[in-house]
Structure 1
């Protein structure tokens, strides 16, 4: 187990790694220190990890950006970015984005276990995961607009991919709350369950993923993740090439 003082911890149990936001007193509000720690976790993962579960301690997944980060001063403040040249400030934000983008890794399946608030950065963290299991009390919002900011933690493309441009625009520019039922209707939730069943459902889903052939799952994820950017002909070719690799591997045929 890796534990840090930044408000987030990593626990590994065989092929399953769990990233837990552990600032329940502030509903797991996020800070740059947390993002740096989460990005570091990607480098610490054992090679046998296949599934990453992301969860929040207590009654919320994450209430979003810690307001002290916006209003405060010092290294942990976003206001510090305004003192940097634009290119340097953008580089800093790229470092923050790394905490979210590694959850897209082709060799992993990431699952967000969401109860209570998933607001702003919390919503984007859930979106960064491949699958989202929502408790019935989950409440999602892209609330950056209420702070005069934009979503910048990898959430915009994933949101458009899931719900389409027009709906994504409406969600982002209004900052309104979506309950679990609407999230399910829009395709943002893989499944919605009673809060008491959240952990068991995530465990069952994780077990089902681990029951599959790891190399086949890696190929399937790559096929689906790239499908939206390929032509129909290119997707057919990608399927053929992936299947040939699987057949040769299962038959023990070398390169």
Structure 2
């Protein structure tokens, strides 16, 4: 079932699994504000029964990053140039960036598990979009890079938090400050990739992972995800208490005593 098809974003749902495709392969799925609005909308149109969301890019690249026309004086057709946006008030500029971030912030919703299927380039905003997902399955030709600093910018699309959590502060700083490429083999070693496979096996690997994630009861997966997502912000004793509360809810549910 097709849920959305606009501005380079195609969304379909098939039972428990939804697939979000970046569908502008001629430009290596370069991102625009219109695409970001469509990606934010994708999160709103998902049926309640969806448990796994797969994010993929059509063509040879996952996403080569922001469409550079955004920095030209005339900008992208129908969009305000970033150079003109920079002349806005603090409030307007903050509101615009907040809207852009909306495309990157729903992928870790507690009721879903999201998987980025990454092949080819995942540069800048493409890297941050892959980081927005819970899990990353990569083809062995995948190449990540955070090129914002080389342009005089910072990564501002919600990618810095998951990057530090995955690879640690020192490695995240080195990757972002140098803008160097992180290829699939290193991404696997650093923990950026959950799995690396040949390009021809990427679709099957994502399908197998989706099936494995769907094997357990939904409520148990939701509770487990919440426990793990909050673990780094809790003390050891707070985490133990959170585990007890979650397990009590699960036991009561299994005993037919839930709400």
Above 0.5 in TM-score?
yes
For the 8 Å contact 1:115–1:135, the answer to whether it is kept is yes
Shift of residue 70, structure 1, vs aligned partner:
1.9
Shift of residue 72, structure 1, vs aligned partner:
4.4
- Structure 2 residue runs without a partner (length 5+): none
Take 1:19 and 1:4, find their aligned partners in 2: how far apart are those partners? 10
For the 8 Å contact 1:103–1:129, the answer to whether it is kept is yes
Of Structure 1 and Structure 2, the greater helix share is in: 1
Take 1:174 and 1:65, find their aligned partners in 2: how far apart are those partners? 18
Which residue is 2:60 aligned to? Answer: 59
Which residue is 2:38 aligned to? Answer: 37
Which residue is 1:154 aligned to? Answer: 158
For the 8 Å contact 1:32–1:76, the answer to whether it is kept is no
For the 8 Å contact 2:73–2:84, the answer to whether it is kept is no
Take 2:111 and 2:170, find their aligned partners in 1: how far apart are those partners? 32
- Structure 1 residue runs without a partner (length 5+): none
Q: Which moves more between the two structures, 25-34 or 65-74?
A: 65-74
For the 8 Å contact 2:137–2:196, the answer to whether it is kept is yes
Give runs of aligned pairs for residues 1-16 of structure 1, distance below 5 A: 1-16=2-17
Which residue is 1:233 aligned to? Answer: 237
**Are 1:204 and 2:205 counterparts?**
no
Tell me how large the CA RMSD over aligned residues is.
Answer: 1.0
Task: Return the match for 1:169 from 163, 169, 173.
Answer: 173
The alignment covers a number of residue pairs equal to 255
Which residue is 1:180 aligned to? Answer: 184
For the 8 Å contact 1:134–1:189, the answer to whether it is kept is yes
TM-score, reference length from structure 1: 0.98
Which residue is 1:50 aligned to? Answer: 51
TM-score, reference length from structure 2: 0.96
